[in-house]
Structure 1
Amino acid sequence: MQYFVVSQNNTPVGTNLSYEAESTKQIPIRENIFHMFPVSQPFVGYPYNQCAVVGNGGILNKSLCGAEIDKSDFVFRCNLPPITGNARKDVGSKTNLVTVNPSIITLKYMNLAEKKEKFLKDISNYGDTFLLLPAFSFRINTGVSFKVYQTLKKSKVRQKVLFFHPRYLRRLASFWKTKGVTAYRLSTGLMIASVAIELCENVKLYGFWPFSKTVEEIPVSHHYYDNKLPKRGFHQMPKEYSQMLQLHMRGVLKLHFDKCEIP
């Protein structure tokens, strides 16, 4: 995991960092960029015992899994999902790491121009979390990701920014291609589930259900907070889910897609 996130000890000043999906393009690491990186990998205390990876599937609605999720030693979430109000009883609130797709910053928060305060208010709900961004996947992501870092630093908030290391993402994509997942991009959920397997002794996935109905044929929304579908051809959700099921059957992780028991 020494290349999970970009850090000062794996990406020193003077090096050129190759983009994950545009490998012929590089960005020179100068002092102004270097100081954005943590000195070393922030998760030196791993392996954690019990980890929860919380997807955003509509299967979480009325699951009452919030309390169980919050008991985990480490909780991963994907792309700034809502965890307040009525959602909390189903999805919990504890968050140790949450991913941020740069498109969310651009579209929902207007590139932090007009809606910076709303962004800061929203991320305050996650407590002392790390925000993980793919700054070096595509060149178009870099400026937006850096702006998130600068906004948090100027605002002196509790949350910290990390950047996926492009080498880690390239290796992850190559690994899953050998398993038949050949989509243009891996989903964030599969990326974070893969990270959790490396960082944790026991991994439980909640909210991973890429189907429009439950096994009882009850309609279910795509997300627990809306029914917006992903772009066609961008991910291979059925193939990804098939791989997760195989990991579940082998005992590598546990997929949870039912209601949680209330003690």
Structure 2
Amino acid sequence: MSYEVDNKKTIHITEDIFRMLPESQPLDYPFKNCAVVGNGGILKNSSCGAEIDKSDFVFRCNLPPTMGSISQDVGNKTNLVTVNPSIIAQKYNKLNEKKLTFLENIASYGEAFLLLPAFSFRSNTAASFKVHQTLKEFSAKQEAIFFYPRYLRNLAQFWRTKGVKAYRLSSGFMITSAAVELCENVKLYGFWPFSKSTEGTPISHHYYDNQLPKPGFHAMPKEYSQILQLHGRGILKLQFGKCLTD
């Protein structure tokens, strides 16, 4: 099978790898109402947690914190969360150690799927497989699934025709695209690439830190322009500010 980005490189699907793949479609879609929760600082003090948790299916990106007081803004419910292999490398030493710390940290996601880009770059494969093996080894509630590289290639090709030309689509944009395919109604929270809110108040890049993305890797302005167009056409709804509480 060819890799998504390094598509001149291939991986031989051995029996061991084949056994890691689901036997049938793991998602029981279509879902009625879905929430795609980004990690933007605009979520802080938004009171959107209860509204997010009422959704039938909740997508999250890159293992964000949901526990404690922040849950009133971001919710607790998680059905699928993406995992960037760089987090596994940097935070958990590629799961060569710190397995228990990793398992404790993901416990807040309940029985969620952990979605990994095992076949995007060759450098992602080992860490993605290690997550799968660790979950199995400890009989964790979560299940690791992998993006299909041809799907991501086709997705990138589609968005390129709309002007989104980047080295790679962001996780949030991939998940938003997938949600539109899997759900009848999609609402986005925490997607706000600006340093100030709609009221002009300064906000952090993420709701949990202010770490900026690597420049030049993703085409964030172009992606956000497309999200705004989808919002304007009624294909999805974009939550800009605070949620109304009962």
Distance between the aligned counterparts of 1:164 and 1:174, measured in 2?
Answer: 16
- State the match for 1:122 in structure 2: 105
Instruction: Note if contact 2:49-2:74 (Cα within 8 Å) is conserved in structure 1.
Output: yes
Quick one: which amino acid aligns to residue 259 of structure 1?
A: K
Is residue 2:210 matched to residue 1:231?
A: no
Q: Output aligned runs, 1:157-196, within 5 Å.
A: 157-196=140-179
Match of 2:72 among 85, 89, 99: 89
- State the match for 2:47 in structure 1: 64
Distance between the aligned counterparts of 2:239 and 2:156, measured in 1?
Answer: 24
Quick one: which amino acid aligns to residue 137 of structure 1?
A: S
- State the match for 1:14 in structure 2: none
1:97-147 CA deviation, whole Å, 9 max, x = no partner? 000000000001111123111100011110000000000000000011000
Shifted more, 201-210 versus 111-120: the winner is 111-120
Instruction: Note if contact 2:37-2:74 (Cα within 8 Å) is conserved in structure 1.
Output: yes
- State the match for 2:91 in structure 1: 108
Distance between the aligned counterparts of 1:154 and 1:233, measured in 2?
Answer: 38
What is the SS of the residue equivalent to 1:38? coil
How far apart are 1:40 and its partner, in Å? 1.5
Give the superposed CA RMSD: 0.6
What is the SS of the residue equivalent to 2:20? coil
Instruction: Note if contact 2:115-2:145 (Cα within 8 Å) is conserved in structure 1.
Output: yes
Match of 2:14 among 13, 30, 35: 30
TM-score, reference length from structure 2: 0.99
How far apart are 1:41 and its partner, in Å? 1.5
Instruction: Note if contact 2:85-2:124 (Cα within 8 Å) is conserved in structure 1.
Output: yes
For this pair of structures, how many residues does the alignment match? 246
- State the match for 1:140 in structure 2: 123
- State the match for 2:234 in structure 1: 251
Distance between the aligned counterparts of 2:169 and 2:16, measured in 1?
Answer: 30
Instruction: Note if contact 2:195-2:203 (Cα within 8 Å) is conserved in structure 1.
Output: yes
Instruction: Note if contact 2:198-2:240 (Cα within 8 Å) is conserved in structure 1.
Output: no
Is residue 2:56 matched to residue 1:78?
A: no
Q: Output aligned runs, 1:211-222, within 5 Å.
A: 211-222=194-205
- State the match for 1:154 in structure 2: 137
TM-score, reference length from structure 1: 0.92
Structure 1 runs not aligned, ≥5 long:
1-16
Match of 1:40 among 2, 24, 29: 24
Large movers: runs of 4+ above 4 Å: none
Match of 2:223 among 240, 245, 248: 240
Distance between the aligned counterparts of 2:201 and 2:229, measured in 1?
Answer: 24
What is the SS of the residue equivalent to 1:75? strand
Structure 2 runs not aligned, ≥5 long:
none
